[in-house]
Amino acid sequence: MGARPGDAAEFTDLESAAMTAALNAAREGVRGANPLVGAAILTADGQIVTGHHGGTGTPHAEVDAITTAHDLDIDLTTATLLVTLEPCDHHGRTGPCTEAILAAEIPSVVFASPDPNPLAAGGGKTLAEAGLTVRSGLCEEDSRALNARWVRSLTEARPFVTAKIAQSLDGAVAAADATSQWITSAESRAHAHEVRSRVDAILVGTGTAAADDPRLNARGPDGIALDDQPRPVVLGTSELPVTSFLALNPNTLHLRTHDVREALDELYAAGARHLLVEGGPTVLGAFFSAGVVDEVFCYQAPLLIGPGRGSVDGLDIGTLSEALQLIPDDTETPAVSRLGPDFLLHFATADPGPDSTGLPESVT
């Protein structure tokens, strides 16, 4: 016996309200290698307690909600658990959510959409076979929309790709004389390091590596490198300067290719599930052109630079109707927020852009 899909009339108004609360809680999480998931516990007397998954290695949404309910002395034996995604049924960095649900003695579970990850799917069936009442399909379209880009990266067996842009008001990442440090504020740079701290790898092109000599590490507010570091990645065929930080770092992965898809395949094989692309402009343009960017953080500084280097190069767009569409994304933080004098713009990408073989040969 597996999970039973329900129709709209089968779910009560309170259950619909609880699933809406779970969807809102899911948006408090962070995009990346894992889906956005929210959970809500609906008590027999109509109380709603929510939880969400905060990112890799943190408790899953179901466990977060159950923990909160225990802290509030809520009777779970008469409650319903509503989850935006089918509870997982596998051991990863955390245990199966099915085990936590069974241990909590929750009798009824409703999930919005099935888990598309074959490694984690099957939780609904496991819970139903254990005797729980399991239904699915409530707010399914909303759940699918929330994680559409994550599902696409999962289906394509590639890392989830976040693109970072730090630019002036007129869209430049460097002045005419190539100076670029710093266009954005200390507050923006601190946020960028928070993003770095939760990805598996950070990628730049060989041109940026040679010009800026970056470390591509994640540092805390005190400027000290964190214990857990993303892997630095360089894309392109040119050699790195032998005395550069990246050349001296034994963990640096040099992808000697101009093909974005080939690079993503190699990164996925190396275990990377969340990639941050920091540039330069031609590398960013190649990833956008290949249709593989899932999320964008744009740090917008209140500067006018004039003639300089644009933030994204190489997009083959000849008319406005061909523009790549971005969708304001209010997960984790508002889609538009203030960082010191700068503004942070958070986007998800819409329909995939035109396919591309990757970087033009001019990128070395």
Q: What angle do CA 236, 315, 344 make, to 5 degrees?
A: 90
Q: Which amino acid is at 49?
A: V
In the annotation, is 62 catalytic?
A: yes
CA nearest to 184, candidates 66, 355, 10, 345:
345
Residue 48 forms beta bridges with which residues?
A: 42
Whether residue 363 contacts residue 210, with contact meaning beta carbons closer than 8 Å, is answered with no
DSSP summary character for residue 322:
G
User: How many angstroms separate the CA atoms of 292 and 33, rounded?
Assistant: 14
φ, ψ (nearest 5 deg) of residue 118 = -60, -25
Q: Which amino acid is at 187?
A: E
Long-range pairs for 46-55: beta carbons < 8 A, 24 or more residues apart: 46/14, 47/74, 48/17, 48/18, 48/21, 49/74, 50/21, 50/22, 50/24, 50/25, 51/25, 52/25, 52/26, 52/28, 53/26, 53/29, 54/28, 54/29, 54/30, 55/29, 55/30, 55/198
* Residue 211 in tokens: 């010009």
User: How many angstroms separate the CA atoms of 135 and 150, rounded?
Assistant: 24
CA nearest to 119, candidates 91, 93, 95:
91
Q: Tally Cβ neighbours within 10 Å of residue 75.
A: 11
- Catalytic pick from 10, 15, 28, 62? 62
Whether residue 100 contacts residue 74, with contact meaning beta carbons closer than 8 Å, is answered with no
Q: Are strands 274-279 and 80-85 parallel, antiparallel or unpaired?
A: unpaired
Catalytic residues: 62
